[in-house]
A and B are shown apart, each in its own frame.
Chain A
Amino acid sequence: MKKIGSKILTGPYIIWMIIFTVIPLGLIVYYAFTNSGGAFTLDNVVSIADTVNAKPLWLSFKMSFEITVICFLLSFPLAIILSKYSKNKNSIIVMAFILPMWMNFMLRTLAWRLILLNNGFLNRAFEIFGLNSVYLMNTKAAVILGTAYDYFPFMLLPIYNAVAKIDEDVISAARDLGASGVVVIRRIIFPLAMPGIISGITMVFVPSMSEFVIADMLGGGKVYMIGNAIEQAFNSGYADIHLGSGLSLSLMGLIVISMLIYKFFDKGEEGHGIW
């Protein structure tokens, strides 16, 4: 009885998955391996290796890597500090870092535009302090900054959760056995937070790889990432859904492969994160 009941309950979700995941994925695979005449071809899938596409792909990879590193370097120490403050559970400080997540990410990105514009808030503040203006708008740096800002909570939260779960006595025990603060972080906190770190890296790196809206808004068309290339294939005047599907599929494959490689090098600590 119970089994049948739970099967009925999973029904809607299975239908949802079929309509919104399986079928679209199937369509992408179908379009990726066919040309406009409907005949089988590998052209679309391998076109990611063309210079036109390989360059933005490499740029996306480099930038995602940089974004992930920035997010991690900010999150890990912050998570340790926050977990110390939040021993009294209902921490307002943790809240302060999560609050921006409640706002639509387009608005957040628009706000960065206003800050970074040549006569934006940043430069006006610089002017007050008598500093030279910086022209960040429409540069790679602006896109990295904006994306890192957007994805930062996705890195912070899983790491914070993992660090906060570490028993205070375990840290005391390490101190007691002679470990200095640095050794405690390196040998105890870092490995114990590994599942959270893996989740965080995955949740920042993967979506950054296919990012294109922030590149548009803060890069002003001058930062052309693989996400932009795919978007163009679907949306531009000479739209080619076969090419777009092929690029998407190849990108997906590359991301899966890179995550597998990453997991392979990270064996030992089992990462049962959110992925």
Chain B
Amino acid sequence: MAKKLIDLVGITKSYGDRVIIDDMNLFMNENRFLTLLGPSGCGKTTTLRIIGGFESPDKGKVIFDGKDITDTAPNERPLNTVFQKYALFTHMNIEENIAFGLKIKKKSKSYISDKVKYALKLVNLSGYEKRMPDSLSGGQQQRIAIARAIVNEPKVLLLDEPLGALDLKLRQDMQYELIRLKNELGITFIYVTHDQEEALTMSDTIVVMNKGYIQQIGTPEDIYNEPQNAFVADFIGESNIIGATMVEDRLVEILGTRFKCVDEGFGNNKPVDVVVRPEDIVLTEPDYGIIKGRVMSAIFKGVHYEMEVLANGFEWLVHSTVLKEPGTEVGIFVDPFNIQIMNKPESEDEEVLVEE
């Protein structure tokens, strides 16, 4: 059993009338890559800033390693942060930037210089000691920001959309670097992003948030394959979300047609939401599918074609490497395993709590 490192207990935060986080409970284990994922305004950055100490919660407690640190100033917390816009000290060279935290802790000169060298090596920027931050590219500056944080050997590294300002190719490279860094350092990363792909690539655990509530906690596979509600299904990847009725265990009626599925325990004749990923829909000859439809449009996307198929009055989004020309009659087949049943939410911001 992994050790509980950070425990957020009943955190509530609002600005004026706007509630940013409402009674949030979340714990984070040691040596994990945990991602807070959600659209802007969902409270993920505020959560991170509360952990970092830059905001104080209106209610609730932040427990770190068994100690209550809710009222501890940021400079006295045993964790470090990497900011979205790097936030390097432009009046200091790279070495001075990285050494900043160690100098405050009054470490010896030789210790500092060894540590700076080591940190620069970790982020693949050896030999940059005397450069000024302004002379580096965005990606390099962000690596320096990471080096400046990890050189202090925090138990937890907080990352606030650190790749947000970088271009796509660089972002992908940095994703792998961050995973490598985390494995080499063996510390906990708490990562904030609105980019679901980034979250799926890097995380051990994803916390999906919306409107100040946790929507789902799970591994990337869980989140993608078994979204707990329509919001998660919609936010993570593309999907067909359809209102349906659960006829009985393992049988669901979608748009008037009964589909076999593998879910149980939703009750009989209960309204539910069904999510089907576009890549899980198989287009067949008209008579071989479960329902019949007509291809309305097809767009080439590189890896696959994106097609819209009108069937039973619903436009199904389909991803396939095989093109069916618009106008073609097709059959739609979905493997029972690929039909994900979700409870209908009582309200849009209903809290869905799932233990890790």
Contacts and interface: CB of A to CB of B under 8 A. Distances in A.
Interface of A: 167, 169-170, 172-180, 183, 187-188, 191-192, 194, 269
Contacts of B101: 177-178
A151 B85 CA distance: 37
A191 B87 contact: no
22 contacts: A167-B85, A167-B87, A169-B84, A172-B54, A172-B74, A172-B83, A173-B81, A173-B83, A176-B52, A176-B53, A176-B54, A177-B100, A177-B149, A177-B152, A178-B76, A179-B100, A179-B104, A187-B100, A191-B91, A192-B89, A192-B90, A269-B91
B134 to A, nearest CB: 12
A173 B84 CA distance: 11
A176 B100 CA distance: 11
Interface string B69-81: 0000111100011
Nearest to A166: B90
Interface of chain A: mostly helix, strand, loop or mixed: helix
Contact of B89 (A170, A172, A178, A180): A170
Contacts of A178: 75-76, 101, 104-105, 152
A170 B87 contact: yes
Interface of B: 52-54, 73-76, 80-81, 83-85, 87-91, 100-101, 104-105, 145, 148-149, 152
B287 to A, nearest CB: 61
A271 to B, nearest CB: 12
Contacts of B100: 174, 177, 179, 187
A176 B81 contact: yes
A176 B89 contact: no
B104 A169 contact: no
A187 B75 CA distance: 15
A183 B106 CA distance: 13
A174 B80 CA distance: 10
B91 A177 contact: no
A23 B100 CA distance: 53
B104 A183 contact: yes
A167 B141 CA distance: 15
Contacts of B149: 176-177
